Amino acid sequence: ALMTAKEYIDSLRKLNTRVYMFGEKLDNWVDHPMIRPSINCVAMTYALAQDPQYEDLMTATSSLTGRRINRFTHLHQSADDLVKKVKMQRLLGQKTASCFQRCVGMDAFNAVYSTTYEIDEKCGTSYHENFKKFLVYVQDNDLTVDGAMTDPKGDRSKAPHEQTDPDMYVHVVERRDDGIVVCGAKCHQTGSINSHWHIFMPTIAMGEADRDYAVSFACPTDADGLYMIYGRQSCDTRKMEDGCIDVGNAKFGGQEALVVLDHVFIPNEYIFLNGEYEFAGMMVERFAGYHRQSYGGCKVGVGDVVIGAAALAAEYNGVEKASHIKDKLIEMTHLNETLYSCGIACSCEGCPTKAGNYQIDLLLANVCKQNVTRFPYEIVRLAEDIAGGLMVTMPSEKDFLSDTVVGREGETIGEICNKYFGAHEGVSTEDRQRIMRFLENMCLGAAAVGYRTESMHGAGSPQAQRVMIARQGNIQGKKKLAKNIAGIKE
Protein backbone atom coordinates (compact mmCIF):
# COMPACT_ATOMS: atom_id res chain seq x y z
CA ALA A 1 0.00 0.00 0.00
CA LEU A 2 1.03 3.61 -0.46
CA MET A 3 2.63 5.18 2.61
CA THR A 4 1.62 8.57 3.96
CA ALA A 5 4.32 11.18 4.58
CA LYS A 6 4.15 10.45 8.29
CA GLU A 7 4.38 6.70 7.80
CA TYR A 8 7.45 7.27 5.63
CA ILE A 9 9.17 9.34 8.33
CA ASP A 10 8.24 6.80 11.00
CA SER A 11 9.57 3.99 8.81
CA LEU A 12 13.01 5.63 8.85
CA ARG A 13 13.06 5.52 12.65
CA LYS A 14 12.66 1.74 12.54
CA LEU A 15 15.85 1.28 10.52
CA ASN A 16 19.22 0.85 12.14
CA THR A 17 20.85 3.33 9.72
CA ARG A 18 24.36 4.35 10.79
CA VAL A 19 24.96 8.05 10.11
CA TYR A 20 28.10 10.01 11.02
CA MET A 21 28.39 13.79 11.07
CA PHE A 22 31.07 16.14 12.46
CA GLY A 23 33.07 13.10 13.50
CA GLU A 24 30.38 11.42 15.56
CA LYS A 25 27.63 8.87 15.19
CA LEU A 26 24.17 10.44 15.27
CA ASP A 27 21.60 8.74 17.44
CA ASN A 28 18.42 10.47 16.37
CA TRP A 29 19.30 11.51 12.84
CA VAL A 30 15.65 11.67 11.74
CA ASP A 31 15.03 14.75 13.90
CA HIS A 32 18.44 16.34 13.34
CA PRO A 33 17.86 19.95 12.18
CA MET A 34 20.47 19.65 9.41
CA ILE A 35 18.98 16.42 8.05
CA ARG A 36 15.26 16.88 8.59
CA PRO A 37 14.68 19.30 5.67
CA SER A 38 16.00 16.63 3.28
CA ILE A 39 13.64 14.05 4.81
CA ASN A 40 10.75 16.49 4.36
CA CYS A 41 11.57 16.58 0.64
CA VAL A 42 11.26 12.82 0.24
CA ALA A 43 8.14 12.88 2.44
CA MET A 44 6.62 15.25 -0.14
CA THR A 45 6.82 12.46 -2.77
CA TYR A 46 4.52 10.47 -0.45
CA ALA A 47 2.26 13.39 0.51
CA LEU A 48 1.51 14.43 -3.08
CA ALA A 49 0.68 10.82 -4.02
CA GLN A 50 -2.14 10.97 -1.43
CA ASP A 51 -3.59 14.11 -3.01
CA PRO A 52 -6.43 13.24 -5.44
CA GLN A 53 -5.54 16.33 -7.47
CA TYR A 54 -2.19 14.77 -8.43
CA GLU A 55 -3.20 11.12 -8.64
CA ASP A 56 -2.55 10.78 -12.36
CA LEU A 57 0.91 12.34 -12.11
CA MET A 58 2.06 10.86 -8.81
CA THR A 59 0.77 7.29 -9.10
CA ALA A 60 0.72 4.59 -11.78
CA THR A 61 -0.51 1.05 -12.34
CA SER A 62 2.28 -1.45 -11.77
CA SER A 63 3.25 -3.36 -14.90
CA LEU A 64 4.32 -6.22 -12.62
CA THR A 65 1.28 -6.57 -10.33
CA GLY A 66 -1.49 -4.35 -11.71
CA ARG A 67 -1.62 -2.59 -8.34
CA ARG A 68 -1.64 1.18 -7.72
CA ILE A 69 1.90 2.35 -6.92
CA ASN A 70 3.81 5.57 -6.45
CA ARG A 71 5.22 6.69 -9.81
CA PHE A 72 8.66 6.87 -8.20
CA THR A 73 8.65 3.03 -8.14
CA HIS A 74 7.22 2.60 -11.66
CA LEU A 75 8.70 1.01 -14.77
CA HIS A 76 7.86 3.40 -17.60
CA GLN A 77 5.50 1.66 -20.01
CA SER A 78 5.17 4.32 -22.72
CA ALA A 79 6.45 7.67 -23.93
CA ASP A 80 3.49 9.14 -22.05
CA ASP A 81 4.85 7.65 -18.80
CA LEU A 82 8.22 9.29 -19.52
CA VAL A 83 6.52 12.66 -20.01
CA LYS A 84 4.54 12.22 -16.78
CA LYS A 85 7.76 11.48 -14.94
CA VAL A 86 9.21 14.87 -16.02
CA LYS A 87 6.00 16.66 -15.08
CA MET A 88 5.94 14.97 -11.69
CA GLN A 89 9.53 16.10 -11.08
CA ARG A 90 8.74 19.67 -12.07
CA LEU A 91 5.84 19.65 -9.60
CA LEU A 92 8.09 18.36 -6.80
CA GLY A 93 10.71 20.99 -7.65
CA GLN A 94 8.05 23.69 -7.38
CA LYS A 95 6.86 22.39 -3.99
CA THR A 96 10.31 21.98 -2.39
CA ALA A 97 12.80 24.19 -4.31
CA SER A 98 15.22 21.35 -3.51
CA CYS A 99 16.42 17.99 -4.67
CA PHE A 100 13.77 15.53 -3.49
CA GLN A 101 16.12 12.57 -3.97
CA ARG A 102 13.72 9.78 -4.80
CA CYS A 103 14.30 9.93 -8.59
CA VAL A 104 17.71 8.28 -8.38
CA GLY A 105 16.10 4.99 -7.35
CA MET A 106 13.40 5.29 -10.02
CA ASP A 107 16.06 5.80 -12.67
CA ALA A 108 18.02 2.83 -11.32
CA PHE A 109 14.90 0.59 -11.44
CA ASN A 110 14.35 1.34 -15.09
CA ALA A 111 18.01 0.94 -16.07
CA VAL A 112 18.54 -2.30 -14.13
CA TYR A 113 15.24 -3.79 -15.32
CA SER A 114 16.12 -3.52 -19.01
CA THR A 115 19.82 -4.31 -18.58
CA THR A 116 19.25 -7.49 -16.52
CA TYR A 117 16.86 -8.72 -19.22
CA GLU A 118 19.60 -8.42 -21.81
CA ILE A 119 22.27 -9.98 -19.57
CA ASP A 120 20.06 -13.02 -18.94
CA GLU A 121 19.30 -13.30 -22.64
CA LYS A 122 22.99 -13.50 -23.46
CA CYS A 123 24.45 -15.25 -20.40
CA GLY A 124 21.60 -17.46 -19.17
CA THR A 125 21.70 -15.85 -15.71
CA SER A 126 18.58 -15.07 -13.65
CA TYR A 127 19.23 -11.46 -12.67
CA HIS A 128 16.03 -10.20 -14.28
CA GLU A 129 13.87 -12.49 -12.10
CA ASN A 130 15.86 -11.40 -9.04
CA PHE A 131 15.26 -7.80 -9.93
CA LYS A 132 11.55 -8.18 -10.65
CA LYS A 133 11.03 -9.88 -7.30
CA PHE A 134 12.88 -7.08 -5.56
CA LEU A 135 10.93 -4.38 -7.39
CA VAL A 136 7.55 -5.92 -6.52
CA TYR A 137 8.64 -5.77 -2.87
CA VAL A 138 9.65 -2.10 -3.30
CA GLN A 139 6.38 -1.21 -5.07
CA ASP A 140 4.14 -3.05 -2.59
CA ASN A 141 5.84 -1.43 0.39
CA ASP A 142 6.24 1.97 -1.31
CA LEU A 143 9.93 2.14 -0.45
CA THR A 144 12.50 4.80 -1.24
CA VAL A 145 15.62 3.36 -2.85
CA ASP A 146 18.91 5.11 -3.54
CA GLY A 147 20.53 4.41 -6.89
CA ALA A 148 24.23 4.35 -6.00
CA MET A 149 26.62 4.75 -8.90
CA THR A 150 29.56 7.12 -8.35
CA ASP A 151 32.69 5.41 -6.98
CA PRO A 152 35.56 7.39 -5.41
CA LYS A 153 37.60 6.47 -8.55
CA GLY A 154 41.06 7.13 -7.04
CA ASP A 155 43.58 7.82 -9.82
CA ARG A 156 41.37 8.71 -12.77
CA SER A 157 43.98 7.60 -15.29
CA LYS A 158 43.76 4.01 -14.05
CA ALA A 159 41.15 1.29 -14.55
CA PRO A 160 39.48 -0.15 -11.43
CA HIS A 161 41.81 -3.18 -11.24
CA GLU A 162 44.89 -0.94 -11.63
CA GLN A 163 44.17 1.17 -8.53
CA THR A 164 46.65 0.90 -5.67
CA ASP A 165 43.72 0.65 -3.28
CA PRO A 166 41.18 -1.80 -4.75
CA ASP A 167 38.38 -0.20 -2.73
CA MET A 168 38.38 2.86 -5.02
CA TYR A 169 35.65 1.00 -6.93
CA VAL A 170 33.00 -1.23 -5.32
CA HIS A 171 34.07 -4.83 -5.85
CA VAL A 172 33.52 -8.42 -4.81
CA VAL A 173 36.03 -9.58 -2.18
CA GLU A 174 34.55 -13.02 -1.56
CA ARG A 175 32.29 -15.37 -3.50
CA ARG A 176 30.19 -17.81 -1.47
CA ASP A 177 27.50 -20.35 -2.41
CA ASP A 178 24.82 -18.16 -0.90
CA GLY A 179 26.06 -14.78 -2.13
CA ILE A 180 28.94 -12.32 -2.33
CA VAL A 181 30.82 -10.04 0.04
CA VAL A 182 31.50 -6.51 -1.26
CA CYS A 183 33.79 -3.64 -0.30
CA GLY A 184 34.17 -0.05 -1.47
CA ALA A 185 32.22 3.18 -1.34
CA LYS A 186 29.94 5.46 -3.33
CA CYS A 187 30.48 9.23 -3.19
CA HIS A 188 28.02 12.13 -2.98
CA GLN A 189 25.02 9.85 -2.71
CA THR A 190 21.87 11.92 -2.98
CA GLY A 191 19.27 10.92 -0.40
CA SER A 192 21.05 7.73 0.63
CA ILE A 193 20.35 8.17 4.35
CA ASN A 194 16.66 8.79 3.62
CA SER A 195 16.32 5.56 1.62
CA HIS A 196 15.13 2.16 2.85
CA TRP A 197 17.27 0.27 0.35
CA HIS A 198 20.13 0.92 -2.07
CA ILE A 199 20.75 -0.37 -5.56
CA PHE A 200 24.46 -0.37 -6.32
CA MET A 201 25.60 -0.13 -9.94
CA PRO A 202 29.02 0.16 -11.60
CA THR A 203 30.13 3.67 -12.48
CA ILE A 204 31.97 3.07 -15.80
CA ALA A 205 32.20 0.61 -18.69
CA MET A 206 34.59 -2.21 -17.78
CA GLY A 207 36.90 -4.75 -19.37
CA GLU A 208 37.64 -8.37 -18.52
CA ALA A 209 40.31 -7.50 -15.95
CA ASP A 210 37.67 -5.52 -14.03
CA ARG A 211 35.38 -8.54 -13.68
CA ASP A 212 35.21 -8.29 -9.86
CA TYR A 213 34.17 -4.65 -10.17
CA ALA A 214 31.31 -5.36 -12.61
CA VAL A 215 28.76 -5.85 -9.85
CA SER A 216 25.24 -4.63 -9.17
CA PHE A 217 22.99 -5.54 -6.26
CA ALA A 218 20.33 -4.34 -3.83
CA CYS A 219 21.07 -3.94 -0.17
CA PRO A 220 19.10 -2.60 2.84
CA THR A 221 20.31 0.80 4.05
CA ASP A 222 20.99 -0.62 7.51
CA ALA A 223 22.83 -3.75 6.33
CA ASP A 224 25.73 -4.94 8.49
CA GLY A 225 28.91 -3.15 7.46
CA LEU A 226 27.15 -0.29 5.65
CA TYR A 227 27.47 3.24 7.02
CA MET A 228 27.24 6.84 5.85
CA ILE A 229 29.24 10.00 6.43
CA TYR A 230 27.15 13.14 5.94
CA GLY A 231 28.28 15.72 3.38
CA ARG A 232 28.54 19.39 4.30
CA GLN A 233 26.74 22.18 2.49
CA SER A 234 27.53 25.87 2.64
CA CYS A 235 25.64 27.59 5.48
CA ASP A 236 24.41 24.20 6.73
CA THR A 237 24.85 25.14 10.40
CA ARG A 238 22.34 27.95 9.95
CA LYS A 239 19.85 25.10 10.16
CA MET A 240 21.00 24.58 13.77
CA GLU A 241 20.06 28.14 14.79
CA ASP A 242 16.73 29.23 16.21
CA GLY A 243 14.51 31.20 13.88
CA CYS A 244 13.42 30.34 10.38
CA ILE A 245 14.31 33.25 8.07
CA ASP A 246 18.11 33.26 7.77
CA VAL A 247 18.11 29.64 6.63
CA GLY A 248 16.25 30.70 3.47
CA ASN A 249 14.25 27.51 3.05
CA ALA A 250 13.24 26.35 6.50
CA LYS A 251 11.35 23.27 5.45
CA PHE A 252 13.22 21.62 2.59
CA GLY A 253 16.76 20.82 1.50
CA GLY A 254 18.96 18.28 -0.25
CA GLN A 255 21.29 15.65 1.13
CA GLU A 256 24.49 13.95 0.02
CA ALA A 257 26.62 11.40 1.84
CA LEU A 258 29.56 9.08 1.42
CA VAL A 259 28.22 5.51 1.58
CA VAL A 260 30.74 2.92 2.72
CA LEU A 261 30.46 -0.83 2.15
CA ASP A 262 32.76 -2.55 4.62
CA HIS A 263 32.53 -6.25 3.83
CA VAL A 264 28.78 -6.29 3.28
CA PHE A 265 27.20 -9.67 2.51
CA ILE A 266 24.77 -9.72 -0.43
CA PRO A 267 22.55 -12.83 -0.76
CA ASN A 268 22.23 -14.27 -4.30
CA GLU A 269 18.61 -13.16 -4.75
CA TYR A 270 19.64 -9.49 -4.58
CA ILE A 271 22.41 -9.70 -7.18
CA PHE A 272 21.74 -8.14 -10.61
CA LEU A 273 25.22 -8.26 -12.16
CA ASN A 274 28.19 -10.29 -11.04
CA GLY A 275 31.16 -10.46 -13.36
CA GLU A 276 29.42 -9.95 -16.74
CA TYR A 277 31.71 -6.99 -17.33
CA GLU A 278 30.53 -6.32 -20.88
CA PHE A 279 27.18 -5.13 -19.46
CA ALA A 280 28.57 -2.61 -16.97
CA GLY A 281 28.63 0.11 -19.64
CA MET A 282 25.02 -0.56 -20.69
CA MET A 283 23.80 -0.18 -17.11
CA VAL A 284 25.72 3.08 -16.66
CA GLU A 285 24.56 4.52 -19.97
CA ARG A 286 20.90 3.73 -19.35
CA PHE A 287 20.87 4.98 -15.77
CA ALA A 288 22.68 8.18 -16.79
CA GLY A 289 20.24 8.68 -19.67
CA TYR A 290 17.23 8.49 -17.34
CA HIS A 291 18.82 10.72 -14.75
CA ARG A 292 19.79 13.29 -17.39
CA GLN A 293 16.15 13.38 -18.46
CA SER A 294 15.17 13.82 -14.79
CA TYR A 295 17.06 17.10 -14.53
CA GLY A 296 14.80 18.50 -17.26
CA GLY A 297 12.02 18.20 -14.68
CA CYS A 298 13.37 18.79 -11.20
CA LYS A 299 15.69 21.72 -11.91
CA VAL A 300 12.94 23.38 -13.97
CA GLY A 301 10.57 23.22 -10.99
CA VAL A 302 13.25 24.75 -8.78
CA GLY A 303 13.84 27.38 -11.50
CA ASP A 304 10.13 28.27 -11.35
CA VAL A 305 10.55 29.15 -7.66
CA VAL A 306 13.74 31.17 -8.31
CA ILE A 307 11.99 33.17 -11.04
CA GLY A 308 9.04 33.79 -8.73
CA ALA A 309 11.34 34.93 -5.93
CA ALA A 310 13.20 37.32 -8.24
CA ALA A 311 9.91 38.80 -9.42
CA LEU A 312 8.84 39.29 -5.78
CA ALA A 313 12.16 40.94 -4.91
CA ALA A 314 11.58 43.41 -7.75
CA GLU A 315 8.02 44.05 -6.62
CA TYR A 316 9.11 44.62 -2.99
CA ASN A 317 11.65 47.17 -4.25
CA GLY A 318 8.98 48.88 -6.33
CA VAL A 319 10.80 48.29 -9.62
CA GLU A 320 8.65 45.57 -11.16
CA LYS A 321 7.54 47.87 -13.99
CA ALA A 322 11.08 48.72 -15.17
CA SER A 323 11.55 47.37 -18.68
CA HIS A 324 14.96 45.81 -17.95
CA ILE A 325 13.49 43.88 -15.00
CA LYS A 326 10.68 42.57 -17.16
CA ASP A 327 13.20 41.58 -19.80
CA LYS A 328 15.37 39.70 -17.29
CA LEU A 329 12.36 37.76 -16.05
CA ILE A 330 11.54 36.89 -19.67
CA GLU A 331 15.09 35.65 -20.22
CA MET A 332 14.94 33.52 -17.05
CA THR A 333 11.65 32.03 -18.19
CA HIS A 334 13.02 31.39 -21.66
CA LEU A 335 16.02 29.51 -20.27
CA ASN A 336 13.93 27.52 -17.81
CA GLU A 337 11.36 26.47 -20.40
CA THR A 338 14.14 25.50 -22.81
CA LEU A 339 15.31 22.98 -20.21
CA TYR A 340 11.77 21.72 -19.83
CA SER A 341 11.45 21.38 -23.61
CA CYS A 342 14.53 19.15 -23.63
CA GLY A 343 13.13 16.99 -20.83
CA ILE A 344 9.82 16.59 -22.66
CA ALA A 345 11.49 16.02 -26.05
CA CYS A 346 13.70 13.14 -24.91
CA SER A 347 10.62 11.61 -23.27
CA CYS A 348 8.35 11.89 -26.33
CA GLU A 349 11.07 10.32 -28.47
CA GLY A 350 11.36 7.40 -26.06
CA CYS A 351 11.22 3.81 -27.32
CA PRO A 352 10.72 0.35 -25.78
CA THR A 353 13.68 -1.69 -24.55
CA LYS A 354 13.91 -5.43 -25.17
CA ALA A 355 12.53 -5.96 -21.66
CA GLY A 356 9.49 -3.83 -22.57
CA ASN A 357 9.90 -0.74 -20.41
CA TYR A 358 10.54 2.59 -22.09
CA GLN A 359 13.92 4.22 -22.55
CA ILE A 360 14.35 7.96 -23.26
CA ASP A 361 16.06 9.17 -26.41
CA LEU A 362 19.70 9.08 -25.33
CA LEU A 363 20.99 11.90 -27.52
CA LEU A 364 18.24 14.30 -26.47
CA ALA A 365 18.59 13.34 -22.78
CA ASN A 366 22.28 14.19 -22.96
CA VAL A 367 21.56 17.49 -24.69
CA CYS A 368 19.01 18.16 -21.93
CA LYS A 369 21.56 17.60 -19.18
CA GLN A 370 24.26 19.56 -21.01
CA ASN A 371 21.93 22.57 -21.02
CA VAL A 372 21.25 21.99 -17.33
CA THR A 373 24.99 22.43 -16.68
CA ARG A 374 24.67 26.00 -18.05
CA PHE A 375 21.24 27.61 -17.78
CA PRO A 376 20.69 27.51 -14.00
CA TYR A 377 23.90 29.56 -13.65
CA GLU A 378 22.51 32.23 -15.95
CA ILE A 379 19.17 32.09 -14.14
CA VAL A 380 20.77 32.66 -10.72
CA ARG A 381 23.00 35.40 -12.20
CA LEU A 382 19.87 37.23 -13.32
CA ALA A 383 18.17 36.53 -9.98
CA GLU A 384 21.13 38.09 -8.13
CA ASP A 385 21.08 41.04 -10.52
CA ILE A 386 17.40 41.67 -9.76
CA ALA A 387 17.67 40.99 -6.00
CA GLY A 388 20.50 43.44 -5.31
CA GLY A 389 23.34 43.28 -2.80
CA LEU A 390 21.08 43.19 0.22
CA MET A 391 20.76 39.47 -0.46
CA VAL A 392 24.18 38.99 1.11
CA THR A 393 24.53 41.95 3.49
CA MET A 394 21.33 41.90 5.48
CA PRO A 395 21.67 41.53 9.27
CA SER A 396 20.41 38.35 10.88
CA GLU A 397 16.91 37.42 11.88
CA LYS A 398 18.00 37.87 15.51
CA ASP A 399 18.95 41.50 14.83
CA PHE A 400 15.54 42.24 13.38
CA LEU A 401 13.99 40.86 16.57
CA SER A 402 16.48 42.36 19.02
CA ASP A 403 15.38 44.58 21.93
CA THR A 404 18.91 45.80 22.58
CA VAL A 405 18.96 49.59 22.63
CA VAL A 406 21.41 51.24 20.19
CA GLY A 407 19.94 54.67 19.31
CA ARG A 408 20.20 57.96 21.16
CA GLU A 409 16.45 58.00 21.53
CA GLY A 410 16.24 54.46 22.80
CA GLU A 411 15.73 52.72 19.44
CA THR A 412 16.43 49.02 19.49
CA ILE A 413 18.52 47.10 16.97
CA GLY A 414 15.27 45.60 15.72
CA GLU A 415 13.67 48.99 15.18
CA ILE A 416 16.73 50.32 13.35
CA CYS A 417 16.83 47.27 11.08
CA ASN A 418 13.15 47.52 10.31
CA LYS A 419 13.49 51.25 9.63
CA TYR A 420 16.39 51.06 7.20
CA PHE A 421 15.43 47.88 5.42
CA GLY A 422 11.93 48.96 4.62
CA ALA A 423 11.22 49.52 0.93
CA HIS A 424 8.02 49.62 -1.11
CA GLU A 425 5.02 50.92 0.83
CA GLY A 426 2.91 48.14 2.29
CA VAL A 427 5.64 45.49 2.14
CA SER A 428 6.84 44.28 5.53
CA THR A 429 10.59 44.13 6.09
CA GLU A 430 10.06 40.55 7.21
CA ASP A 431 8.69 39.57 3.80
CA ARG A 432 11.66 41.29 2.22
CA GLN A 433 14.02 39.41 4.54
CA ARG A 434 12.34 36.16 3.63
CA ILE A 435 12.66 36.59 -0.11
CA MET A 436 16.28 37.86 0.10
CA ARG A 437 17.31 34.94 2.29
CA PHE A 438 15.55 32.51 0.03
CA LEU A 439 17.43 33.85 -2.98
CA GLU A 440 20.72 33.78 -1.09
CA ASN A 441 19.99 30.18 -0.16
CA MET A 442 19.29 29.24 -3.79
CA CYS A 443 22.06 31.25 -5.46
CA LEU A 444 24.98 30.68 -3.09
CA GLY A 445 23.77 29.16 0.14
CA ALA A 446 22.98 25.58 1.07
CA ALA A 447 20.49 25.11 -1.76
CA ALA A 448 23.06 26.15 -4.38
CA VAL A 449 24.40 22.64 -3.87
CA GLY A 450 21.21 21.39 -5.51
CA TYR A 451 20.59 24.14 -8.02
CA ARG A 452 24.11 24.91 -9.22
CA THR A 453 26.77 22.30 -8.47
CA GLU A 454 24.37 19.38 -8.71
CA SER A 455 23.17 20.76 -12.05
CA MET A 456 26.80 20.79 -13.13
CA HIS A 457 27.98 17.41 -11.87
CA GLY A 458 24.91 15.40 -10.87
CA ALA A 459 23.95 12.67 -13.38
CA GLY A 460 27.44 13.09 -14.86
CA SER A 461 29.73 16.08 -15.40
CA PRO A 462 29.47 18.05 -18.67
CA GLN A 463 32.24 16.06 -20.37
CA ALA A 464 30.31 12.82 -19.82
CA GLN A 465 27.43 14.23 -21.85
CA ARG A 466 29.76 15.43 -24.59
CA VAL A 467 31.16 11.92 -24.95
CA MET A 468 27.60 10.62 -25.36
CA ILE A 469 26.65 13.43 -27.74
CA ALA A 470 29.68 12.54 -29.85
CA ARG A 471 28.70 8.87 -29.83
CA GLN A 472 25.02 9.49 -30.63
CA GLY A 473 25.42 12.49 -32.93
CA ASN A 474 25.81 10.49 -36.18
CA ILE A 475 28.30 12.78 -37.90
CA GLN A 476 28.85 10.18 -40.66
CA GLY A 477 25.16 10.23 -41.52
CA LYS A 478 25.19 14.01 -41.57
CA LYS A 479 28.19 14.04 -43.93
CA LYS A 480 26.22 11.82 -46.29
CA LEU A 481 23.34 14.27 -46.30
CA ALA A 482 25.69 17.10 -47.24
CA LYS A 483 27.41 15.02 -49.95
CA ASN A 484 24.04 14.17 -51.45
CA ILE A 485 22.87 17.75 -51.67
CA ALA A 486 26.23 19.07 -52.82
CA GLY A 487 26.50 16.38 -55.48
CA ILE A 488 29.67 14.76 -54.13
CA LYS A 489 30.02 11.12 -55.26
CA GLU A 490 30.91 8.41 -52.68
**Residues assigned a catalytic role:** 99, 103, 190, 256, 291, 295, 298, 454
Identified binder of ligand SF4 from the candidate list 8, 29, 46, 100, rule CB under 6 A: 100
Phi, then psi, of 450 in degrees rounded to 5 = -80, -40
Q: How far is the CB of 297 from ligand SF4 (least distance, A)?
A: 7
CB of 448 within 8 A of CB of 384? no
Q: What's the Cα-to-Cα distance from 311 to each of 80, 247, 302, rounded to whole Å?
A: 33, 20, 14
Contact 314, 320 (CB under 8 A): yes
Q: Would you say 202 or 458 has its CB closer to Fe ion? A: 458
Residues in contact with ligand SF4, shown as a per-residue x/- string from 244 to 273 under the rule CB under 6 A: ------------------------------
Of residues 41 and 325, the one with the C-beta less far from ligand SF4: 41
Residue 135 binds: one of ligand SF4, Fe ion, none (C-beta under 5 to 8 A by kind): none
Looking only at the bridges linking them, the beta strands covering 24-25 and 215-220 are unpaired
State the Cα–Cα distance between residues 112 and 110, nearest whole angstrom: 6
Determine the Cα–Cα distance for residues 36 and 5; give it in Å rounded to an integer.
Answer: 13
Residue 100 interacts, among ligand SF4, Fe ion, none and using kind-specific CB cut-offs from 5 to 8 Å, with ligand SF4
Interacting stretch for Fe ion, rule CB under 5 A, among 78-86, 161-169, 350-358, 458-466? 458-466
d(CA 327, CA 340): 20
Asked whether position 104 contacts ligand SF4 by CB under 6 A, the answer is yes
Q: Among ligand SF4, Fe ion, none, what does residue 150 contact (CB within 5–8 Å per kind)?
A: none
Quickly count: other Cβ atoms within 10 Å of residue 428's Cβ: 11
Give the nearest distance from C-beta 286 to ligand SF4 in angstroms: 15
The reply to whether 201 sits near ligand SF4 by the rule CB under 6 A is no
Nearer to ligand SF4, 295 or 400 (CB): 295
- Quick one: which of 17, 45, 150, 190 contacts ligand SF4 (CB under 6 A)? 190
Q: How far apart are CA 313 and CA 442, in angstroms?
A: 14
Q: Does 231 bind Fe ion (CB under 5 A)?
A: no
453 is in an annotated binding site: no
Kindly tell me which of 142 and 256 has the beta carbon lying closer to ligand SF4. Answer: 256
- φ, ψ at 48 (rounded to 5°): -65, -30
Nearest 10 degrees: Cα torsion 466, 107, 254, 459: -10
Residue 261 binding partner per list Fe ion, ligand SF4, none, with a CB distance cut-off of 5 to 8 Å that depends on partner kind? none
- Taking CB under 5 A as the rule, does residue 458 contact Fe ion? yes
**Residue 60 interface partner, choices Fe ion, ligand SF4, none, CB cut-off 5-8 Å depending on type:** none
**CB within 8 Å of 483: residues ≥ 6 apart:** 489, 490
**C-alpha span between 122 and 108 (Å, rounded):** 21
Strand (E) or helix (H) holding 130: helix 127-141
Window 268-327: residues binding ligand SF4 (CB under 6 A): 294-295, 298
Partner whose footprint covers residue 214, from ligand SF4, Fe ion, none (CB < 5 to 8 Å by kind): none
Distance CA 424, CA 422 (A): 7
The contact set with ligand SF4 (CB under 6 A) reads 99-101, 103-104, 190, 294-295, 298, 454, 458
Residue positions forming the annotated binding site: 190
Annotated binding-site residue numbers for FAD: 190
Q: Which residues bind Fe ion (CB under 5 A)?
A: 190, 458
